[in-house]
């Protein structure tokens, strides 16, 4: 198997909905290999560990097969080994959960949720 671009592989194994989203994640520094942020054109081969930063958790994947074209979900799951740490559910972490039927969150509650999720306001 020949090496492929990291953004193409992430899109091919369905970690991102579009290739441009995978490219943007690389440019934003959310994709790392061996602790270093990578460019979208970085080549990966089987055995490489890819770290994907998501709001509130990290996904760690080991490349098993390299695909440059998008594949179906059953094939995509065989293309990597998931080494992610066990994720806690929001109730276990102590994050606030809104009960159904309580209406929309207030502006203050939305700001608190954004802070918890790691979103930052850009001006």
Tens-binned pLDDT, residue by residue, of the chain (123 aa): 788 999 999 999 999 999 999 999 999 999 999 889 999 999 999 999 999 998 778 899 999 999 989 999 999 999 999 998 887 555 555 666 777 888 888 898 888 888 887 776 654
d(CA 90, CA 68): 35
Determine the pLDDT at residue 86.
80
Q: CB–CB of 44/3 below 8 Å? A: yes
As a whole number of angstroms, the distance between CA 101 and CA 54 comes to 28
Structure tokens at 123: 């001006």
> Is residue 34 within 8 Å of 49, Cβ to Cβ?
yes
pTM for this prediction: 0.71
In the chain, domain spans: 4-87
Residue corresponding to tokens 């998008």: 70
CA distances to 30, 56, 119 from 116, rounded to whole Å, are 18, 8, 8
What architecture does CATH give domain 4-87?
Answer: Roll (3.10)
């Amino acid at each position: 198997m020949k090496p492929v671009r990291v953004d193409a592989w992430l899109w091919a194994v369905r970690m991102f909905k579009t290739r441009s989203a995978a490219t943007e994640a690389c440019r934003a520094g959310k994709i790392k290999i061996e602790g270093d942020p990578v460019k979208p054109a970085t080549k990966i081969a089987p055995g490489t560990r890819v770290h994907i930063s998501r709001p509130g958790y990290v996904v760690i994947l080991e490349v098993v097969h390299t695909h440059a074209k998008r594949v179906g979900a059953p094939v995509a799951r065989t293309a990597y080994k998931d080494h992610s740490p066990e994720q806690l559910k929001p109730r276990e972490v102590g994050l606030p959960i809104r009960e159904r039927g309580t209406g929309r969150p207030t502006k203050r509650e939305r700001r608190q949720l954004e802070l918890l999720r790691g979103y930052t306001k850009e001006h």
